[in-house]
Amino acid sequence: MTRSFSNARLPQRRRSRSRCRRRLTPFPALACLLLACSGARSPAPPAKSHAPLPPSAASLADACAAPLPISPGVPVKGSTAGRADSFRAACAGGARGPDLLYATELAEASRVRFILDAPGFDGVLHLHRGCPGALPTLACSDDFDAAGRSLVFALIDAGPVAAVVDGAAAGDAGEFTLTMEARPLAAPPAAGEDTCAGAPPVTTAGGGGVTTAAIEGSTFHGADDVEPSCAGAPGGPDIFRRLDIAFPSILTISTKSSQFPGIVLALLEGCAAGDGELACDVESVEKALPAGSYVLAVDGAGADQAGDFALGVQVTRASFLDERCAAGAPLAAGATAAGATAGEGSFAGGCGCGGKGPEGIHLLTLKKPGSVRIEVNPDGFDSVVYVRKSCADPGSQVACNDDAGSALRSVVETQLGKGTWAVFVDGCREGDAGSYTIRAIVQ
């Protein structure tokens, strides 16, 4: 079993630590596995056309004879300056810079990640089951989240593992720090955040009806305790947080950053048998909740989706939203109205970029059901328009649009029943705000 991902892989909807004490030094099993035992005595097959031919098997044997040791949880510092270019990568055009080989051995099947920090040059990191070139590459990363920083992740059976610190081009070399982390797949959940019952509380702060908090953590060391309905695949490791809501509120949780593309957020009633799932989505969730205690599960869309993350939490008191909704400006059918947004947002839409900016609220009243087209033309900011039956309840949204004919303009077309509907003009991202015009055409 070997499963892996690099920064080139994407999930269905959009865009890593344990103990292994045994180490092969000077790694004789690696050379045996790749060269003698595997029968790889002739040159490896040619690489893709964009990369140079790999070194011969003889030179690979020499390069793999004395790898440097590395152990989980112990960062190592080194330099590729003055080293030879011994190995080829499956990314970065083959990676033609000087390189260094590090190796260890896993005592049991594990979740493994290597992180390379090379601030002085364009570093490349590739992961192999053994000596590079003799067997397929497990993962390859060039510029994971910044030039010079790379991350590779894989699920690997017991046995030898090798990581190559490389340079993208011939002149890319210098000092670096390499960190390896591993967690045995069979390890039981740890205490605390790795169990629903041990979920630490999230403390929000603020005023004016809106409180916020930041959550930072990692699912890399987590066990697979729950299977959210929106995960797409089982086996993702997860961790938990407890959220205590003092008043009826709208809870909004959004992903600020994630080392893995398939981050799943599931809101649970609690940890007792029979407690159900209240909401589940990739990257963000929003839910109207009565006062009470709830549990957030941060999960992955499959066993190979895990790593560090940062979330933003916003709790908006329902009474505060009701006051804002009551102050919404009337929107007359057929007329063009002007508006402006400023400050911070309290609502969010369910399409496109979500609507994280401040919003303008308009109330459209229909005397009978009809076909409605709502057009928003913003003055220089990226707008989102959405329609709700109940202004403060995100679950009552019936239509939403981001970018209609341009990157800024938004239009919705939908069938609406008799009554009053809340129409929101929002900013795509925090800071997207300004003046706009809005028109509703009813037929």
Domain boundaries, the chain: 2-184, 192-318, 327-442
Q: Which CATH code fits 2-184?
A: 2.60.120.380
Calpha distance 224→72 (Å, rounded)? 21
Mean pLDDT, residues 152-170: 96
Q: Is the confidence at residue 153, as pLDDT, over 50?
A: yes
**Residues β-bridged to residue 116:** 150, 178
Calpha distance 141→407 (Å, rounded)? 31
Q: What is the pLDDT of residue 57?
A: 55
Same fold, 2-184 and 192-318: yes
CATH class of 192-318: mainly beta
**Phi-psi category of residue 159: left, alpha or beta, with phi > 0 → left and psi -120 to 50 → alpha:** left
Mean pLDDT, residues 425-432: 92
Mean pLDDT, residues 312-340: 94
Q: Which fold has domain 327-442?
A: Jelly Rolls (2.60.120)
Q: Is the confidence at residue 258, as pLDDT, over 90?
A: yes
Lowest mean pLDDT among 57-61, 119-123, 196-200: 57-61
pLDDT-derived band at 41 (thresholds 50, 70, 90) equals very low
CB 382 within 8 A of CB 428: yes
Q: Is the confidence at residue 405, as pLDDT, over 60?
A: yes
Q: What is the pLDDT of residue 133?
A: 77
Mean pLDDT, residues 415-437: 95
- Whether residue 201 is preceded by a cis peptide bond, meaning omega within 30 degrees of 0, is no
Mean pLDDT, residues 356-375: 95
CB 264 within 8 A of CB 231: yes
Q: How many helices (H) and strands (E) does the chain have?
A: 3, 28
Q: What is the pLDDT of residue 62?
A: 82
pLDDT-derived band at 350 (thresholds 50, 70, 90) equals confident
Q: What is the pLDDT of residue 390?
A: 93
Model confidence pTM above 0.85: no
Calpha distance 300→307 (Å, rounded)? 9
Q: Is the confidence at residue 355, as pLDDT, over 80?
A: yes
CB-neighbour burial class of residue 50 (10 A; exposed 0-12, middle 13-18, buried 19+): exposed
Q: What is the pLDDT of residue 56?
A: 58
More confident residue, 97 or 29: 97
